């Protein structure tokens, strides 16, 4: 369990810093339909889709904690939500051990949508209401589409961070 | 099985951290400060690298909007020149009265001018990041204002940057008072000649009675840069027996409540503490400003906005008042002021 927790963090932490810097600078300026594109969430979900539920949850939790530390949101809140996104996206590996790239992207998209939708729920649980409104119907689809577009790039990054190699089928010769 | 346990451990860790952070842990605050120092070079590098690209993007995408906005702002500026002259005179008089009565106005507090360096990085928080922090004397809870009024309060402080919770965030609330003038105020009006080429502007003038040879030094916002205070020394020498124009007393209704944010693009909502007989007299257009008080995060008199609508609640006589914020579009803030104001909780 120790290697499971500490092993991937060496790669995930520096990658997380870079992604977090992009999130806090470029992506606060480019906001289609007024929605901030969630790159950190997309990476969490993509890591889950590429490396499985448990590792996805760990990646999401770590990236979420870094996000909380940098943005001032309650520590652990985004970690919990991004962890959920990674866990849901990682469900793809229980369907098939070697999914096609498009199936991985779809599950990463689903994970990101669940993560984005779970944020107002998590905030409500700690007493921060006022986020459940019509705007969710814009925010969640835009976040999902962004993840769908970026996941072919982010899934390999997520796999590399989590030290997981892409499974390959081998033809057994007689 | 071991990995399942790890997942459970992550969830429990999250809950524990959330609990500790909400209760206010110094250890977590220290961790945030250290992490902010770690992230800072990455942020700076990202800004430096992407600035030309972003500028080009904005140049292409926002050109027509900026041009239209520029024309609208020019028209608005022309129409507000007269109002500004009137307002400057009023501010000057207000400051004189504060000095004479030994009262503190919001401009009496020291402040730090800051620049916005980033908007909210998420869709579920209305915050901005400013470029100064604890090194410059900024602390959690201090009010942040623009030239137009209250913008928010400092919610997180790092050594060289801070996070400001905007007034529109659902988590923001502050004590506020509504000032509604009752009836028409009879004031003398005079026509002041401005420049020969321009249309004259009708302004109202008031006359104050000062003690003989009263010299007051007041600080008013400069007309060129409303954020930069300018020291102006005025010497008012009046004979003791002068008879000034006497105005009829202005009857102003003051109602105190708490104003809450409702999210970006939504008006703030003012809720009153008790059922007062005068709350029904609040009119659209009335001024809303900070109420101050021992435990308030801001001194009294900072403009928050104006009353946009007054709605009656079913089953209650107390209305809910919608407030349009005076600070305008909070997604386009640039230079702001953090008032180094610490509430006087001791009551002295």
List, for residues B26-72, the tens digit of each pLDDT value.
889 889 989 998 998 999 999 899 888 888 888 887 888 888 888 88
- The mean predicted confidence, pLDDT, of chain B is 76
List, for residues B90-134, the tens digit of each pLDDT value.
777 777 777 666 555 566 688 899 999 888 888 888 999 999 999
Q: Check if A84 contacts B (Cβ < 8 Å).
A: no
Helices (H), chain A: 2-6, 9-24, 39-51, 53-71, 77-89, 92-95, 101-125, 136-161
* Cα(A105)–Cα(B48) distance, integer angstroms: 31
Contact state of A77 with B18 under an 8 Å Cβ cutoff: yes
Min distance B26 CA to chain A CA atoms (Å)? 13
Q: pLDDT confidence of B234, banded at 50, 70, 90?
A: very low
Segment among A9-13, B100-104, B182-186, B254-258 with least mean pLDDT: B182-186
Is the pLDDT assigned to residue A138 strictly greater than 90? yes
Min distance B306 CA to chain A CA atoms (Å)? 22
* Cα(A62)–Cα(A162) distance, integer angstroms: 12
More confident residue, B146 or B86: B146
* Cα(B159)–Cα(B138) distance, integer angstroms: 9
More confident residue, B348 or B164: B164
Q: To which H or E segment does residue B170 belong?
A: none
Is the pLDDT assigned to residue A128 strictly greater than 50? yes
Helix axes A136-161, A9-24, angle to 10 degrees: 140
Is the pLDDT assigned to residue A20 strictly greater than 90? yes
Q: Give the strand pairing for B214-221 and B320-325.
A: unpaired
Degrees, nearest 5: CA angle B291-B292-B294: 135
- Under 8 Å between Cβ of B119 and A68: no
Is the pLDDT assigned to residue A68 strictly greater than 70? yes
- The predicted structure's pLDDT at residue A62: 94
Mean pLDDT for B176-180 is 85
Tokens of A23: 């999130």
Q: Check if A65 contacts B (Cβ < 8 Å).
A: yes
Segment among A33-37, B104-108, B273-277 with least mean pLDDT: B104-108
Is the pLDDT assigned to residue B139 strictly greater than 70? yes
Is the pLDDT assigned to residue B344 strictly greater than 90? no
- The predicted structure's pLDDT at residue A141: 96
- The predicted structure's pLDDT at residue B87: 79
Smallest Cβ–Cβ distance between A21 and the set B3, B11, B42 belongs to B42
Tokens of A170: 């081998």
- Under 8 Å between Cβ of B175 and B262: no
Closest CA to A84 of A102, A50, A110: A110
Mean pLDDT for A156-172 is 78
Contact residues for A122 (Cβ-Cβ < 8 A; gap 6+): A77, A80, A81
Q: To which H or E segment does residue B308 belong?
A: strand B303-311
Residue of chain B with shortest Cα separation from A5: B6
Q: Check if A18 contacts B (Cβ < 8 Å).
A: yes
- Under 8 Å between Cβ of A88 and A108: no
Is the pLDDT assigned to residue B1 strictly greater than 60? no
Q: What is the CA radius of gyration of chain A?
A: 16
Q: Give the strand pairing for B252-260 and B189-192.
A: unpaired
* Cα(B305)–Cα(A111) distance, integer angstroms: 41
Torsion angle of the four alpha carbons B243, B244, B249, B252, in this order, in degrees rounded to the nearest 10: -150
- Under 8 Å between Cβ of B151 and B166: yes
Q: What is the DSSP string of B212-271?
A: TTEEEEEEEE-SS-TTSEEEEEEEE---TT--PPPPPPP-EEEEEEEEE---TTS-EEEE
Q: pLDDT confidence of B196, banded at 50, 70, 90?
A: very low
Closest CA to B128 of B107, B146, B110: B146
DSSP A130: -
* Cα(B256)–Cα(B268) distance, integer angstroms: 15
Q: What percent of chain B has pLDDT over 70?
A: 71
List, for residues A70-125, the tens digit of each pLDDT value.
998 899 999 999 999 999 998 877 777 778 888 899 999 999 999 999 999 999 98
Q: Is the dihedral of CA B113, B118, B119, B125 positive or negative?
A: negative
B154 strand-pairing partners: B164
- The predicted structure's pLDDT at residue A41: 96
Is the pLDDT assigned to residue A8 strictly greater than 70? yes
Degrees, nearest 5: CA angle A136-A142-A146: 145
The CA–CA distances, whole Å, from B224 to B144, B181, B198, B219 equal 20, 30, 20, 14
* Cα(B118)–Cα(A71) distance, integer angstroms: 11
- The predicted structure's pLDDT at residue B327: 85
Is the pLDDT assigned to residue B333 strictly greater than 90? no
Helices (H), chain B: 2-23, 26-61, 63-100
- The predicted structure's pLDDT at residue B255: 81
Q: Is the dihedral of CA B17, B21, B26, B31 positive or negative?
A: positive
Contact state of A17 with B120 under an 8 Å Cβ cutoff: no
Give contacts of A 99-138 with B, CB under 8 A. 116, 119-120, 123, 126, 128-131, 133, 135
Within its chain, how far is the Cα of A156 from the centroid?
13
Residue of chain B with shortest Cα separation from A138: B123
Min distance B11 CA to chain A CA atoms (Å)? 6
Min distance A101 CA to chain B CA atoms (Å)? 25
Q: Is the dihedral of CA B27, B30, B34, B40 positive or negative?
A: positive
- The predicted structure's pLDDT at residue B292: 81
Tokens of B42: 């990455």
Report the predicted TM-score, pTM, of the whole model to 2 decimal places: 0.74
């Amino acid at each position: 369990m120790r290697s499971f927790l500490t092993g991937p963090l060496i790669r995930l932490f520096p990658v997380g810093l870079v992604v977090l810097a992009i999130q806090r600078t470029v992506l606060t300026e480019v906001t289609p339909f007024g929605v901030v594109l969630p790159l950190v969430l997309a990476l969490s979900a993509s890591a889950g889709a590429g490396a499985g539920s448990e590792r996805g949850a760990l990646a999401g939790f770590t990236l979420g904690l870094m996000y909380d530390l940098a943005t001032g949101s309650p520590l652990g809140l985004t970690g919990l939500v991004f962890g959920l996104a990674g866990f849901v996206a990682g469900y793809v590996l229980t369907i098939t051990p070697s999914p096609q790239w498009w199936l991985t992207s779809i599950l990463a998209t689903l994970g990101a949508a669940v993560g984005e939708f779970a944020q107002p729920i998590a905030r409500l649980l700690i007493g921060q209401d006022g986020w459940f409104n019509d705007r969710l119907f814009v925010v969640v689809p835009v976040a999902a589409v962004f993840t769908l577009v970026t996941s072919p790039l982010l899934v390999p990054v997520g796999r590399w961070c989590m030290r997981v190699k892409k499974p390959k089928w081998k033809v057994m010769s007689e | 099985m071991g990995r399942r346990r790890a997942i459970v451990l992550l969830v429990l860790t999250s809950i524990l951290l959330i609990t500790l952070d909400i209760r206010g842990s110094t250890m977590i605050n220290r961790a945030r400060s250290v992490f902010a120092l770690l992230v800072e070079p990455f942020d700076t590098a990202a800004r430096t690298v992407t600035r030309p690209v972003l500028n080009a993007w904005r140049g292409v995408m926002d050109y027509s909007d900026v041009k239209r906005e520029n024309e609208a702002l020019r028209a608005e500026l022309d129409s507000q020149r007269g109002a500004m002259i009137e307002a400057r005179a009023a501010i000057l008089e207000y400051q004189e009265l504060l000095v004479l009565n030994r009262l503190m106005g919001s401009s009496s507090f020291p402040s730090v001018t800051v620049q916005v360096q980033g908007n909210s990085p998420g869709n579920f928080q209305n915050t901005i990041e400013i470029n100064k922090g604890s090194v410059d004397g900024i602390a959690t809870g201090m009010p942040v204002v623009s030239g137009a009024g209250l913008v928010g309060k400092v919610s997180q402080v790092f050594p060289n940057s801070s996070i400001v919770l905007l007034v529109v965030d659902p988590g923001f609330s502050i004590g506020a008072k509504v000032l509604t003038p009752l009836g028409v105020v009879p004031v003398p009006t005079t026509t002041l000649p401005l420049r020969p080429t321009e249309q004259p502007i009708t302004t109202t003038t008031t006359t104050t009675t000062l003690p003989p040879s009263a010299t007051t030094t007041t600080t008013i916002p400069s007309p060129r840069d409303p954020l930069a205070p300018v020291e102006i020394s005025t010497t008012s020498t009046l004979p003791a027996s002068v008879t000034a124009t006497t105005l009829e007393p202005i009857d102003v209704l003051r109602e105190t409540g708490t104003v809450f944010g409702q999210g970006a693009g939504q008006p703030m909502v003012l809720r009153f503490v008790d059922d007062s007989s005068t709350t029904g007299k609040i009119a659209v257009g009335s001024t809303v400003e900070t109420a101050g008080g021992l435990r308030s995060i801001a001194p009294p008199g900072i403009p928050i906005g104006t009353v946009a609508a007054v709605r009656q609640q079913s089953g209650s006589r107390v209305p809910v008042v919608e407030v349009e914020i005076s600070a305008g579009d909070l997604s386009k803030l640039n230079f702001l002021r953090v008032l180094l104001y610490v509430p006087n909780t001791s009551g002295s």
